[in-house]
Amino acid sequence: MSFEDLNLNTPLYNALNDLGFVKPTPIQSKAFNLVASGKDVVGIAQTGTGKTFAYMLPILRHLKYSTQDNPRVLILVPTRELVVQVVDEIEKLAAYINVRVLGVYGGTNINTQKQAVAQGQDIIVATPGRLFDLAVSHVLHLKSIQKLVIDEVDVMLDLGFRHQLLNIFDILPERRQNIMFSATMTEDVDALITDFFTKPQRVTIAVSGTPLHNIEQERYDVANFHTKTNLLEYLLNDSETYNKVLVFVAFKRLADLLFEEIEERFPGQSCVIHSNKTQNYRLRSIEQFRAGDNRMLIATDVMARGLDIENISHVINFDTPKFPENYMHRIGRTGRAEQQGRALTFSTKKEQEAIETIQEYMEMKIPLIDFPENVEISKQLIEEERPQIREHNNPTKQTGDDVPGPAFHEKKDKNKKENLGGSYKFKIAAKYKKPKTRGDKNYNKRNKK
């Protein structure tokens, strides 16, 4: 099938010709008529198969010109970087169409975005948090939304956006088309579809968890962090083979630590991205990696979902992800648009259970490669790898060194007096009791004698 077989218009054909696209991907061809029909649609396809164009082609085909200020299409994505990417894709596809597109996300000045919204927009691409902030401020009115697209909804739920999503659903018009695309299907996503979608039509190109056939997967058993770093250095020394490498780590501190190690060994060839970095830094790092200015990009899972960077030669899982869905999204950054890709995973003994879970999820074994003999196996451990000694029955008990000791000086004499409490009060009362007869001032004196 070619794009000529789809019921597109001339402006879209011109844009596709400029982009050099000749035929649609399976998800694009199968989803076109369903999305165009106005029914609720759920699409499942591996990452890198063109899901953004799968929903944007039919939407732009039937989006009529309008001068109204309120947007008619809302697209929700989990991360700021994905907002920028989707807006860029829409602008390429709508090069010959008079359509207004705006991306809104956190980490930037909200007043600037309010001004842009007030000028009137047709399509809003947003992260849930910033969209809700704009809606609550009554600057962005969602009463005219006809189509709601949720891209990578499982990531939004993982990132804690469920509450914002439910609030957004409450303020959207009831009569709207719901469209959802993802590479994986989880129980939480299925529950969301059941609650808010009306008889959705499902488009499944591959079973959830099926890896792309053009991605070669392999793994190494590695002792610890510093040994992993030595192995990574050994691989990166082959700059011709490893010419554009995306390295995933478990969390932010490890990303910074690995970046310092790699920058010392390969100066000026790497960059790092995670949620603690500023928005400008994150976008600049992506652009430098995309342009080839930096050969390596070290990232946490904030980069694993949806971002499309061409010609990534290798994805290296420096840490094995605990959830198989994260593994699928990570390796999907390579081998995009039917190109050949390669994914390597480093696993310690503690991470073997995660490897087994991933293999069960994909219903395939990841080939194990022999550890290179000339790579040094380090015995040095980082803080997270050192064993923590705890009592089995009392893990919070203080050790002998932690128990508070005695005071460092003797108490003063005035502070050594005995606290006599209530008995002292009664002794004083007996000694100085009130006279039996009113006015007898000498009673106490006589009684004392």
Beta bridge partners of 126: 76, 104
Q: Specify the higher pLDDT residue, 329 or 351.
A: 351
For residue 251, is pLDDT > 80? Answer: yes
The residue length of the chain stands at 449
**Average pLDDT taken over every residue of the chain:** 85
pLDDT interval class at 164 (50, 70, 90): confident
At residue 407, the pLDDT reads: 55
85 contacts: CB under 8 Å, gap ≥ 6: 306, 307, 308
Output 32-38 pairs: Cβ under 8 A, ≥24 positions apart.
Answer: 32/6, 32/7, 32/57, 32/58, 33/58, 34/201, 34/203, 35/59, 35/177, 35/179, 36/7, 36/61, 36/62, 37/201, 38/177
Q: Which two tokens stand for residue 384?
A: 């997270």
For residue 408, is pLDDT > 60? Answer: no
Are the beta carbons of 92 and 75 closer than 8 angstroms? no
Domains defined along the chain, listed by start = 3-204 (3.40.50.300), 215-381 (3.40.50.300)
For residue 398, is pLDDT > 70? Answer: no
At residue 134, the pLDDT reads: 94
Q: Specify the higher pLDDT residue, 164 or 75.
A: 75
Range with the poorest average pLDDT among 128-132, 373-377, 396-400, 422-426: 396-400
Q: What is the dihedral of CA 48, 53, 58, 63, to 10 degrees?
A: 150
For residue 216, is pLDDT > 70? Answer: yes
- Where are the alpha helices (H) located in 137-278, listed in sequence order? 153-158, 162-171, 187-196, 225-236, 252-265
This prediction's pTM: 0.73
* The amino acid at 271: C
